[in-house]
């Protein structure tokens, strides 16, 4: 393991860069009165933490490159997709409603509401979630990528393909005007209500498996994927928009009842509740 001072320096620099990026994005969001694009930076920023670490750490070149390439592929794919969705569909109604309510109920200005409700906590959360691609590059002695690492790499590729297919199915479904107001319950969406979240978890637990082979530092980085699980299950957009869709779309309550929340699972017959497999 490298000296504690070196580890602290790299993590400190990364945290500073992370905070600075969100301050810049906050200023842009205030200028255009739209913060939807921050979701794209969530993906791109996680990959960027791998880049900033790559230029500071002195770990195993093979492992550093693998973590950099895999996280970069995931981040670019997801980040560019979210940017495209934002430019195609406009502001996210969740953000619009949340910020408008804060301005009306609390008397906050748009910049204050945007900072306190959207940007303030995302920097430290992103920094923690990205621990596998930070700590995984800091092994002081070269450790060849072994079985666990290659299994992790395979899991990352699977996760990218899984969520890419889910996004494609959703885009194709929404492009058909006959599906307006209907619930997508076919393809991957038949087995999980959040195939995109499941794909993300596969990616980050896979990256952790690659990092874990380096020893204590890599193993400790499990805090990143575990925090991601908590965010998806408790605090992400999933719980909030599912509640809204239950009232807005006929059949959505039934879809929730028979379909697993996160981990793909065979759907239950109509009228029977599905297990909340998380």
What is the model's pLDDT at position 257?
86
Q: What percent of the chain stands above pLDDT 90? A: 74
List of residues 6+ apart from 79 with CB closer than 8 A:
40, 41, 42, 43, 44, 47
Q: How far is 196 from 201, CA to CA, in rounded Å?
A: 9
What is the model's pLDDT at position 159?
98
Q: How far is 136 from 53, CA to CA, in rounded Å?
A: 10
Token pair of 181 as six digits: 């107001």
Mean pLDDT computed over 173-195:
91
Whether pLDDT at 237 is above 60: no
The answer to whether residues 192 and 259 touch, using CB atoms and an 8 Å cutoff, is yes
What is the model's pLDDT at position 196?
93
pLDDT tens figures, 55-96: 999 888 999 999 999 999 999 999 999 999 999 989 988 899
Mean pLDDT computed over 135-151:
87
Whether pLDDT at 243 is above 80: no
Q: Which of 211-215, 238-242, 249-253 has the highest mean pLDDT?
A: 211-215
CA distances 271 to 104, 189, 248, 253, 267, Å, are 41, 18, 20, 11, 11
> Residue 136: which of 147, 123, 145, 126 has the closest Cα?
145
Q: Is the pTM of this model over 0.85?
A: yes
Dihedral pair phi/psi, residue 263, rounded to 5°: -75, 130
């Amino acid at each position: 393991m490298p000296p504690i001072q070196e580890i602290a320096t790299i993590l400190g620099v990364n945290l500073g860069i992370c905070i600075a990026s969100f301050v810049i994005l906050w200023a842009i969001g205030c200028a255009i009165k739209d913060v939807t694009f921050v979701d794209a930076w969530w993906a791109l920023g996680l990959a960027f933490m791998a880049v900033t670490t790559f230029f500071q750490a002195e770990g195993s070149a093979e492992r550093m490159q693998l973590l950099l390439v895999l996280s970069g592929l995931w981040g670019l794919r997801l980040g560019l997709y979210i940017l495209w969705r934002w430019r195609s569909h406009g502001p996210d109604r969740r953000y619009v409603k949340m910020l408008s309510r804060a301005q009306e109920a609390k008397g906050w200005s748009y910049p204050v509401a945007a900072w306190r409700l959207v940007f303030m906590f995302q920097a430290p959360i992103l920094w923690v979630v990205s621990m596998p691609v930070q700590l995984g590059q800091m092994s002081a002695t070269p450790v060849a990528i072994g079985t666990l690492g290659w299994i992790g790499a395979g899991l990352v590729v699977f996760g990218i393909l899984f969520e890419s297919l889910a996004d494609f199915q959703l885009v194709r479904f929404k492009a058909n005007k006959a599906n307006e107001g209907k619930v997508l319950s076919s393809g991957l969406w038949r087995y999980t209500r959040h195939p995109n979240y499941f794909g993300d978890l596969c990616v980050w637990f896979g990256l952790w498996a690659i990092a874990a082979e380096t020893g204590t530092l890599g193993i400790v980085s499990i805090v990143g994927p575990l925090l991601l699980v908590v965010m998806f299950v408790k605090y992400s957009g999933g719980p909030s928009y599912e509640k809204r869709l239950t009232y807005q779309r006929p059949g959505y309550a039934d879809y929730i009842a028979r379909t697993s929340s996160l981990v793909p699972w065979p759907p239950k017959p109509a009228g029977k509740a599905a297990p909340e497999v998380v």
